Structure 1
Amino acid sequence: MQDPFKGFNDDDNNNNGNGPQGLPLPPNYATVVNPQTGNMRIAKVGFAWIAFIFPVIPPIFRGDWYNLLCIMGVNAGVQMIVQMSVSASSMVEVLGFIQLGLQFLWGAIYNMMYFKHLFNRGFVPADERSKDLLTRAHYWNPKNAAK
């Protein structure tokens, strides 16, 4: 199969790793596996654009119920605090700015939250490329993994 990601930090040695069944992975995707169950997850490392636009969609499609409840809880808590502390005349503007800030927050940290939750459930990087990518992005700490 021809590699569609040629030219994206890849060379003839297939530095971008192999996904399931030998399919190529984009250079910013990491693979993690649970050694006890054999389950494998592949996800992007970095800013989550879908989580920025629609914060609840990625956790739903990934089956990440823990982080979905975290996102919904933080959003609901912030909205309740703002509604209790801001006058009704400026409510729309303040909620708009706060919601935009929360969307930037979820876009910036959702993928990290997802990987860290997987690591707490026993997943580890599947290969050296994924381990290096997750370490450079500060998602994976090899010192904590040895404990």
Structure 2
Amino acid sequence: MVIVKMMINLTNSQTSHFKQVKVGFSWTTFFFGCLPALFRGDWKWFFIIALIEIIFGIPTIGFGAGIIGIIFSFIYNKLYINDLLSNGYVAADEASNRILQSRGFTINK
């Protein structure tokens, strides 16, 4: 069995920033909760995930925070990519464009 990391390349033509982003399940979010969003500089989702983990983690002695981490593991990368696309990033190459289209992302032209 071959495990393929599906990475895409995004670029912002206005700022000349380049980002390589993983598409699909977020193992880092699974293991570290809101910290991957913090390290990516994604302040909005860092605070949202942290707040939800605190709200559900305190009354359940941490168990609820783990459940929230599992849920966000499935959706965080998609949320992050959608935010990048809405902030002017576009696929940097044809392969990234095909991956985005196959995963149902709205592509900015």
Normalising TM by the smaller chain, what interval?
0.7 to 0.9
Establish whether residue 63 from structure 1 lines up as the match of residue 29 from structure 2.
no
Q: Deviations over 1:90-116 (max 9, x none)?
A: x44xx52x3332121111111111111
Separation in 2, partners of 1:129, 1:27: 13
| Conservation of the 8 A alpha-carbon contact between 2:5 and 2:22 | no
Aligned residues: 108
TM-score if structure 1 supplies the norm length?
0.64
Q: Does 1:36 align with 2:46?
A: no
Q: Which amino acid aligns with 1:107?
A: S
What corresponds to 2:91 in structure 1?
A: 125
Q: 5+ residue gaps in structure 2?
A: none
What is the aligned partner in structure 2 of residue 74 from structure 1?
Answer: 52
Q: Distance in 1 between matches of 2:34 and 2:65?
A: 13
Equivalent pair of 2:8/2:20 in contact (CA under 8 Å): yes
Give distance in 2, aligned partners of 1:130 and 1:123: 12
Unaligned runs of 5+ in 1: 1-7, 9-25, 84-90
- Deviation at residue 43 of structure 1 after TM alignment: 1.1
Which position in structure 2 is the counterpart of 1:17? none
Instruction: Give the 4+ runs in structure 1 shifted more than 3 A.
Output: 77-80
CA offset at residue 27 of structure 1? 5.2
Aligned to 1:48: 26
Higher Cα Rg: structure 1 or 2? 1
Verify the 8 A CA contact 2:54 2:65 in the aligned structure 1: no
Q: Which has the higher strand share?
A: 2
TM-score (norm 2): 0.83
Please report the RMSD computed on the Cα atoms of aligned residues, expressed in angstroms. 2.3
